[in-house]
Amino acid sequence: MDLLLIITLVCAGTLTFLILRLLFNQTHRTIKLPPGPSFFQIIRNIFELGRNPHIAFTKLSKIYGPIMTLKLGNITTIVISSPQLAKQVLLENSQAFSSRTIPHVMRVFDHHRSSITFLPPSEQWRNYRRVCATKVFSPQKLDSTKIIRQQKLKELLGFVKDKSIKGEALDLGKAVFTTVLNSISNTLFSKDLSDSTSDEKSQEFKNIVEGAMEDAGKPNIVDFFPILGPLDPQGLQARMSIYLTKLIKIIDGIIEERMCSRVSKIDSGSEVANDVLDSILCNVEATQLSRNEMTHVFLDLFIAGIDTTVVTVEWAMAQLLRNPDKLKKTREELCQAIGEDETLEESHVSKLPYLQAVVKEIFRLHPAIPFLVPRKCDEDVTISGFQVPKDAQVIVNLWAIGRDPTIWENPDMFLPERFLDCEVNFKGHNFELIPFGAGKRICVGMPLADRAVHLMLASLLHNFEWKLADGLTPDHMNMKEQFGLSLKRVQPLRVQAISLKT
């Protein structure tokens, strides 16, 4: 029913728009837009556009080229599907493309006005970036907080070992979610927000974060026809209000509690916590963050940082289990590089080139954010001989770039070997592999994600042998994707672990 409503509204609204456009066409200057499908071709593909836009856009780009125009409602969307053009947008013309398109759902509680993700380049945005770079993601800060990540990882391994001893299967994504959530919450607040023994509490927080990510990524009729905003026909803003209300209540409650405890501890001469929140509260004048801004910055860090890391680890384990020869190679490298009784640490990752290749291959095949975060063009720009008009939405289709046969040999196959003895990395310099974006708006959390994904994947493989649960075989795994702001698996990965250590 939801999809039928979208189709009806899109058809009615777009037909009205086309009629008005024809009536007033003479008053508008003609510009050379990139080629693209007609309105009727879009309607024929509306089901795929709604459910799997990353796939639909990729198919259309094979017809219309690596720069393509889509017109739905009164928004002009330009889709980029090649590394050369992505470089022009994200780096060479970064000033013109540095603003964001703001989805209607992210205007809840004016989140877009205090969000490092959606703010346009401004002094406020630069201040947020500076705070995150110095208080959260600097090499020195990450080194000082690695003991927290190590402890949370130890708890994950303990949980998996307990399941192994009992012969029970586990939902790997759910277990990894709890670990990543608590790693981030302890780094920020010195506090667990979930635990593996409280499955209900963990699942509730997981539902909130995943629900927010899914609804933030869904095609929304209101984004095409803003006049429908007050009606919220798909109910997306209403659901987002529920998610953000719960998250803001949790985060603001922690800030309130800390501010009160700091006063009493300072008065009594006791030590205060040495975490990100305390660092910000100690330097309020320097950070220039109000309490409301702190809440929304932390909200961004939770939503973006948790889901993308979990999705990447789960896809990596799924592909390794589906390709037992690759799993064997990864484990053999770990056994050779790391002693049997040695505790894996972040510094060990440099000794594991095949594991690093596995992660790169996952970033290529299953980019956590398949469209990155859409950009907004601030001025008319010419790209590859075509005009990108001011206020157009610009999408970089990483999924299409990662599966382009002109760039990658056997693009649909999981082949980590393609990255061995290869200089391509994912730090924003090689535009055929930019899972964190590039240019001035590259993901500020990339340094933490880099460490977390490699260490967690290596630790799971070093301490356990793995097999699929419920009698499933590699040949019959469901590898379908579920589109949202992040690209997760349709079917959760259920596995059984066999402990390699007593």
Query: Mean pLDDT, to the nearest integer, of 122-141?
Result: 93
Q: Is the pLDDT of residue 362 over 90?
A: yes
Q: What is the DSSP letter of 99?
A: E
* Alpha-carbon gap, residue 182 to 193, rounded angstroms: 6
Quick one: pLDDT at residue 183? 92
DSSP string, 228-286: GGGG-TT-HHHHHHHHHHHHHHHHHHHHHHHHHHHHHHHHHTPPPP-SHHHHHHHTHHH
Proportion of the chain above pLDDT 90, given as a percent: 67
- State phi, psi for 284 to the nearest 5 degrees: -60, -40
Of 94, 83, 138, whose CA–CA distance to 120 is shortest? 94
pLDDT bin (cut points 50, 70, 90) of residue 23 is: very low
**Nearest CA among 237, 1, 217 for reference residue 104:** 237
Rounded to an integer, the average pLDDT of 192-218 is 75
> What is the C-alpha to C-alpha distance for residues 279 and 36, in angstroms, rounded to an integer?
50
The dihedral sign for the CA sequence 453, 454, 459, 464: positive
Determine whether 235 is exposed, middle or buried from the number of CB atoms within 10 Å of its CB (0-12, 13-18, 19+).
Answer: exposed
pTM summary value? 0.90
Contact partners, residue 210, CB within 8 Å, separation at least 6: 307, 484, 488
Q: Rounded to an integer, what distance in angstroms lies between the CA atom of residue 82 and that of residue 99? A: 21
Give, in words, the CATH class of 1-95+370-402: alpha beta
Say how far apart CA 477 and CA 493 lie, in whole Å: 9
SS3 state of residue 423 = coil
Length of the chain: 502
Of the candidates 324, 349, 379, the one whose C-alpha atom is nearest the C-alpha of residue 447 is 349
Q: Does this chain's domain 1-95+370-402 share its CATH topology with 96-369+403-499?
A: no
Q: What is the CATH number of domain 96-369+403-499?
A: 1.10.630.10
285 pLDDT exceeds 80? Answer: no
Give the separation between CA 456 and CA 150, rounded to whole angstroms.
9
Give residue 26's pLDDT: 40
In the chain, where are the structural domains located? 1-95+370-402, 96-369+403-499
Q: What is the pLDDT of residues 371-430, one digit of tens each?
A: 999 999 999 999 999 999 999 999 999 999 999 999 999 999 999 999 998 999 999 999
pLDDT of 258 over the 50 cut = yes
Tens digits of per-residue pLDDT, 63-92?
999 999 998 777 899 999 999 999 999 999
